[in-house]
């Protein structure tokens, strides 16, 4: 059984990620071009939304990760991961995971009172 702190931390981590999985009729090679080649990617994911035009990491034909930045305060940074795999019908399963990666969110101080509700005693 997991302790409460571990459960709370996992819930907080899950709340910052957005996951989407879709099945496309296009073959994996075509989907890979659309997510990895800047000329095609810019049509739906403009370079202005990226923190860098180059991917953070890439595994040819399977996965590519891009760093993104908000254009409004507090200008948070995130990472979006595109994973592709063939389906049984000649199409593609595209999985998109968008996660907050801003260091400012990782450095939140722990409360000295272990985040328990404040209790007041009657005098």
User: For the chain, what are the domain ranges?
Assistant: 14-94
Contact yes or no for 27/90 (Cβ under 8 A): yes
Average pLDDT over residues 5-15: 49
Q: List, for residues 17-74, the tens digit of each pLDDT value.
A: 899 999 999 999 999 999 999 999 999 888 888 988 899 999 999 999 999 988 887 7
- The pLDDT of residue 22: 95
The model's pLDDT over 68-105, given as tens digits with 9 standing for 90+, comes to 988 887 788 889 999 999 998 999 999 999 998 776 66
User: SS in 3 state form for 8-60?
Assistant: HHHHHHHHCEEEEEEEECCCHHHHHHHHHCHHHHCCCCCHHHECCCCCCEEEC
Q: Which of 32, 75, 21 is nearest to 55 (CA)?
A: 32
Please give the CATH superfamily to which domain 14-94 belongs.
START domain (3.30.530.20)
Q: Return the pLDDT at 14.
A: 47
Pairing of strands 17-24, 92-100: antiparallel
Integer Cα distance of 68 and 102 in angstroms: 10
pLDDT of residue 66: 95
């Amino acid at each position: 059984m997991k302790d409460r702190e571990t459960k709370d931390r996992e819930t907080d981590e899950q709340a910052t990620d957005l996951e989407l999985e879709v099945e496309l009729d296009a073959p994996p090679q075509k989907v890979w071009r659309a997510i990895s080649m800047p000329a095609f990617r810019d049509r739906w994911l403009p370079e202005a939304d990226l923190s860098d035009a180059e991917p953070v990491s890439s595994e040819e034909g399977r996965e590519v990760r891009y760093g993104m930045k908000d254009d409004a305060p507090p200008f948070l940074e995130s990472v979006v991961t595109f994973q592709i795999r063939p389906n049984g019908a000649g199409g593609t399963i595209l999985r998109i995971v968008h996660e907050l990666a801003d260091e400012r969110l990782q450095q939140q101080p722990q409360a000295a009172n272990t985040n328990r509700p404040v209790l007041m005693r009657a005098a």
